Amino acid sequence: MKIVKTLLLVTLTLTLCGAALLYMAGAGLFGDSEDAGRVSAIPIPPDVLRKQQADQRAVAPAAAGGNDRRAIDAGSRILFGDFHVHTTFSGDAFITSLALMGGEGSRPPADACDFARYCSALDFWSINDHAEQLTPRRWRETIDSIRACNAVNADPAHPDTVAFLGWEWTQMGDSPENHYGHRNVILRGLDDNDITTRPISARPPPSREGDFAAIPAIGTALNLLFERTRHGLNAGRYFRETAKAREHPCPLDTPVRDMPADCMESAATPAELFAKLDDWGIDSLVIPHGTTWGNYTPPGSSWEKQLGPVGHDPNRQFLMEVYSGHGSAEVYRPWRAVTRGEDGEPECPPPGPGYLPSCWRAGEIIRERCLASGEGDNVCAARAKETRELYTQRGNAGFHVVPGAAVEDWLDAGQCSDCFLPAFNYRPLGSLQYMLALGKFDTPGPVQRFRFGVIGSSDNHSARAGTGYKEIYRHAMTDATGFIDVGLDWSNNRPRLAGGPPPAPPAFPDPVDTSMLATFDRAERDRINSFFTSGGLVAVHAPGRTRDAIWSAVGRRQVYGTSGDRILLWFDAQHDGASYPMGSALNAASSPRFHVKAVGDWEQQPGCPQHSRDGLSPERLASLCLDECYNPSEQRKVIERIEIVKITPQREANEPVAGLIHDPWLVHDCPPDPTGCSFSFSDDAYAAGERDAVYYVRAIEAASDALNGANLRCEYDAQGVCVAVDPCYGSEVFTDPADDCLAPVNERAWSSPIFVDYGASTSRSRDPGTPHNNQDEQ
């Protein structure tokens, strides 16, 4: 008996000691602070860059002549970049890099530089880690890493890639009233006097203050059971450093240069962010993104409230990200996730053509369970109604009221079923088209409007800038993620044994209190994995490759976005002898003549070109680039069609937006010509309409396979209704990691608009009637 007691005591002691050591390791006591890494110092050969420009000139629109086409400046070129890149200096990126999440380990800023230069062959990019986790040390190391990235360039006048410094201002409200959304801040220069001492983070509303709490030590300790590496040990140190830094917020209402150097600066609203940037007096851009992404945008949120000083500064915020690895934010749709009753309370709308509200589907899931349990129609209808009400009251976290729901149970609820690779849980009042249609009439002076140029970017969280060059490796080239197979399923917070039967689902809604849930717990963490793509690109029409040339082109809105392919796109207008490139605004009493040309991306060869293999070791090429780089062949993809979207912005308050968006207004079918597709058009209804108009281009390639190209992979009935789904899970428990969920899509480019202000009489009462256009192919 004494021996047994001794063994039990020893076992208990060892267990407690082991648990204590594991907890201390999880708390970061044994880990290190991960640094920014080391940039490879081998530049891209100048011949590679010269060939890129020569290839563009070979297909660029011809010089002006009898066909009235604009001249192409001999020094002009289209450069491709990514203005939205995260590394493991971002908290969410660090979490998904852990072994428990199927991650690859540390991906510091130096990896982003090397990926942009050697893997994706970008001309420029920016680093945009979440400011909320950019401690003073991490910010200083980020600055040093971006400077090191630029120092590799052999010829400063012709750099192979230009790296911009920046951060993400990550604001998230829990209601339409306190939500403003995410914005990237990008700085022009890299000298000390061109850089803020600190990045400016988003100060959450009081109801969301727990969003930035440190990950509990128990969580990082749990990861160590599966990741016995230095990176696993460093996890606790990472979150400990973040928490310590946030204990020292900068004082409010203090000039930015009078604040302590190592405090954490924050802004609660976009207006406060703009004011702080004004106070710094530094050249900067502010770019909204994720504006339709329902993963964090509360139902009912609208950009209408941001048209004014509280949410907009046209001197800095003149671009928007229309496409990223989180999907598209282009199109407006008339349906809503929730509506408001006469009392102002949220209500659940019924399904309509092409849209199934998630709140409605929640009620139907409970109704189906109720009927299956033997209850009558009236009882089950009442439970469905209660479920819908509970869902709408909980915003993004509404799905929690349906306990035990599988991803498949939700069908395609909440999704834009007829959109091109849409953002998850689509919010149409944050779309580009809705923004361009808005006007603000309640202030003196000219009507206020959003005049956004259009970009794409990746929003990648593994330091992989510009991932869309090849549709491969879903778990590395997109943000798809999920727990490894440890016997649990994390979808919708529904624990169960992997491969085993789920617990019997309740036939009642759960009136769970979701008010204090952090963002991570408010999200539908696995359904969203079907909507992560390889991301987009920003293209600029720049007079040169330098930082200043790129910045000046961006400032003129001579930019466009793509869904990842390097489509060449020219769009401009001629009026009264002057030429106006994309992004321009002009006054006109009659329609300008518009000219468009688009050329498809190069087909890709497998593997990596020689200059990539020269720049990185074989081991690093395999780890970072996955042995697949941007590697163009001599064959181009073809442009299938070019679509013109016309928007006539509101000319009075509350004018319905749906009738102002003409999408598509004009479609031009293209012959299968690898040298591109071009045509010209004018708008014969413009003068008769006597109102402002906005025109932009969609250039659409022939179909090719894309990661998550079919999103939830719906099975449709004869009426086109989704009746079953085959989701692409992030977790290896349910989707084979080798399954890239490929499906054909039409990759595309979106031009920045040309804004045409009607320059005749201020009387705008005439109905524009049916649009008519006059086009000719060239």
The string of pLDDT tens digits covering residues 477-488 is 999 988 776 555
Confidence of residue 542 (pLDDT cuts 50, 70, 90): very high
Amino acid at 111: D
Q: Average model confidence (pLDDT) for the chain? A: 89
Higher per-residue confidence, 495 vs 523: 523
Mean pLDDT, residues 741-753 taken together: 98
Angle at 86 between CA 614 and CA 531, to 5 degrees: 105
Confidence of residue 27 (pLDDT cuts 50, 70, 90): low
Angle at 87 between CA 83 and CA 93, to 5 degrees: 115
Amino acid at 701: E
Q: What is the pLDDT of residue 76?
A: 79
Sign of the torsion formed by the C-alpha atoms of 216, 218, 222 and 228: positive
Measure the CA–CA gap between 269 and 441, rounded to whole angstroms: 22
Q: What is the pLDDT of residues 675-687, one digit of tens each?
A: 999 999 999 999 9
Q: What is the pLDDT of residue 86?
A: 98
The β-bridge partners of 595 are 572, 680
Per residue, what are the HEC states of 353-382?
CCECCHHHHHHHHHHHHHHHCCCCHHHHHH
Contacts for 357 with CB less than 8 Å, ≥ 6 apart: 335, 336, 337, 338, 348, 349, 350, 351, 413, 414
Mean pLDDT, residues 502-516 taken together: 83
State yes or no: pLDDT of 24 exceeds 70: no
Measure the CA–CA gap between 327 and 324, rounded to whole angstroms: 5
Percent of the chain with pLDDT over 70: 87
Mean pLDDT, residues 36-62 taken together: 93
Closest CA to 737 of 101, 219, 61: 101
Contacts for 717 with CB less than 8 Å, ≥ 6 apart: 723
Q: Are 645 and 663 in contact (CB under 8 A)?
A: yes
Q: What is the pLDDT of residue 222?
A: 56
- Maximum alpha-carbon separation in the chain: 106
State yes or no: pLDDT of 9 exceeds 80: no
Measure the CA–CA gap between 586 and 694, rounded to whole angstroms: 11
Measure the CA–CA gap between 545 and 731, rounded to whole angstroms: 41
Q: What is the pLDDT of residues 274-306, one digit of tens each?
A: 999 999 999 999 999 999 999 999 999 999 999
Q: What is the pLDDT of residue 16?
A: 62
Q: Are strands 585-588 and 754-758 parallel, antiparallel or unpaired?
A: parallel
Q: What is the pLDDT of residue 217?
A: 53
Higher per-residue confidence, 245 vs 10: 245
Closest CA to 317 of 265, 267, 273, 268: 273
Six-digit token string for 391: 């869902």
Q: Which of 157-166, 204-213, 689-698 has the lowest mean pLDDT?
A: 204-213
Measure the CA–CA gap between 644 and 526, rounded to whole angstroms: 36
Higher per-residue confidence, 99 vs 693: 693
* Neighbour tally for 718: CB within 10 Å: 5
Measure the CA–CA gap between 509 and 390, rounded to whole angstroms: 8
State yes or no: pLDDT of 527 exceeds 50: yes
Closest CA to 89 of 250, 194, 239, 262: 239
Six-digit token string for 498: 């992997």
Q: Which segment, 54-63, 243-252, 508-517, is predicted with the most confidence on average?
A: 243-252
Q: What is the pLDDT of residue 231?
A: 82
State yes or no: pLDDT of 5 exceeds 90: no
Closest CA to 316 of 459, 188, 176, 146: 188
Q: What is the pLDDT of residue 147?
A: 98
Q: What is the pLDDT of residue 775?
A: 45
Q: Using N-to-C axis directions, what is the helix angle for 230-246 and 217-224, rounded to 10°?
A: 170
Q: Are strands 632-636 and 284-289 parallel, antiparallel or unpaired?
A: unpaired
The β-bridge partners of 440 are 448
Percent of the chain with pLDDT over 90: 75
Confidence of residue 227 (pLDDT cuts 50, 70, 90): low
Q: Are 643 and 698 in contact (CB under 8 A)?
A: yes
Buried/exposed code over 172-185 (b: 16+ C-beta within 10 A; e: otherwise): bbbebebbbbbbbb
Measure the CA–CA gap between 320 and 433, rounded to whole angstroms: 11
Tell the burial category of 762 from Cβ atoms under 10 Å away from its Cβ (0-12, 13-18, 19+).
exposed
Mean pLDDT, residues 503-523 taken together: 82
pTM for this model (two decimals): 0.92
* Neighbour tally for 97: CB within 10 Å: 25
What's the CA dihedral at 762, 763, 764, 766 to 10 degrees? -150
State yes or no: pLDDT of 672 exceeds 70: yes
Q: Which of 293-307, 344-358, 437-451, 610-624 has the lowest mean pLDDT?
A: 437-451
Mean pLDDT, residues 568-579 taken together: 96
Measure the CA–CA gap between 145 and 365, rounded to whole angstroms: 51
Contacts for 477 with CB less than 8 Å, ≥ 6 apart: 460, 464, 467, 468, 470, 471, 534, 707
Per residue, what are the HEC states of 220-254?
HHHHHCCCCCHHHHHHHHHHHHHHHHHCCECCCCC
Measure the CA–CA gap between 434 and 455, rounded to whole angstroms: 16
Higher per-residue confidence, 422 vs 230: 422
Q: What is the pLDDT of residues 359-396, one digit of tens each?
A: 999 999 999 999 999 999 999 999 999 999 999 999 99
Q: What is the pLDDT of residues 135-193, one digit of tens each?
A: 999 999 999 999 999 999 878 889 999 999 999 999 999 899 999 999 999 999 999 99
Six-digit token string for 221: 């300790």
Q: Are 576 and 566 in contact (CB under 8 A)?
A: no
Amino acid at 104: E
